[in-house]
Amino acid sequence: MIGKDIKKAIEILNKEQLVAIPTETVYGLGGNALSSKAVAEIFKVKNRPSFDPLIIHTDSLEKVEKYVKSIPEKAMLLAREFMPGSLTLLLPKEDIVPDLVTSGSPLVAVRLPHHPMTLELLSNLDFPLAAPSANPFGYISPTSAQHVDNQLGKKIPYILDGGSCEVGLESTIIGFEGEEAIVYRKGGLAVEAIEAVIGSVKVLNHSTSNPKAPGQLKSHYAPQTPFQIGNPNELFNEHKGKKIGVISFSKEYEQVPAENQVVLSALGDFSEAARNLFAGMRHLDSLNLDLIIAELLPEKDLGRAINDRLKRAAA
């Protein structure tokens, strides 16, 4: 069921059941992060491997301090600048956070979502929410309540409808080893914005197994339709006779019908492109195409995170 009833969502979550929640990044599948029962249900509903850890969400930095042992100086600088927002911090966890949430890691990923409806929800709960993206594991992340309903609607009691996601890419995850800041997942907060606050950071590529942080697996965000990255003009010749869809940054291709194309931003705007990425992938995946071709964006700003998602969809 889709609705806007926060009180209903609170009642369901207090019963250790799940609610899909809106955030500025993507919709999350939320459950009581301090309840092993609720967390186990998240893994079950998503069909998510238990070695892939979850992010916990709350509504204030003061509450974050209940669930972590320490917050390094650089993390605090970033928190003050970007929280609430598309930033997740990987920090040493307190024992109150179940090992199931962190897949046995001593570190927990925490964030404050920048969405008024979900912040109100979180402010009325006595616990944080574990909330990975509200989609079957490995598929394209949802950026609307309808996306969630199409795939998980029969498996969860309620979907809180907060409209379309403003950012459209998962949060950027950053952790710390001594004085070094490490980006474990590129996301809706650009690396350049982070470096403007704390100086240079190390950016990791994805992990193929036993990831240290959520969202590091190599193959992810994948449509059902075969998906290939490259120069569209070259690939059109290679796949003549096939029904092809195209995802491009800002240009249209005359070789493909307009209805089979997703132009992420005609103006070449990275934020607009990020907002449109997952919905565009879902649209093309619904057209019964033989192949989806995607071109990479310039490797800067949010283009880096968009390219990361495209590469993993093609993996």
**Backbone CA torsion sign across 259, 262, 268, 271:** positive
Give the confidence band of 138 by pLDDT, cuts at 50, 70, 90: confident
Q: Where are the beta strands (DSSP E) in the chain?
A: 2-3, 19-21, 28-32, 55-57, 87-92, 107-111, 129-130, 158-160, 172-177, 180-185, 202-203, 227-229, 244-248, 261-263, 291-294
pLDDT of residue 298 exceeding 70: yes
Note the maximum CA span of the chain: 59
Q: What pTM did the predictor assign?
A: 0.89
Cα gap 71→51, rounded to integer Å: 24
Residue range 12-71, pLDDT digits in tens: 999 999 999 999 999 999 999 999 999 999 999 999 888 889 999 999 999 999 999 999
Residue range 198-231, pLDDT digits in tens: 999 999 876 554 566 777 666 677 889 999 999 9
Q: For domain 227-314, give the fold.
A: Rossmann fold (3.40.50)
- Please tell me the CATH code under which domain 2-203 is placed: 3.90.870.10
Which 3 state secondary structure label does DSSP give 116?
helix
Q: Which residues contact 50 (CB under 8 A, 6 or more apart)?
A: 43, 100, 103
Helix axes 73-82, 191-198, angle to 10 degrees: 120
Cα gap 79→65, rounded to integer Å: 12
* Domain spans of the chain, in order of start: 2-203, 227-314
- State percent of the chain over pLDDT 70: 96
Amino acid (one-letter) located at 310:
L
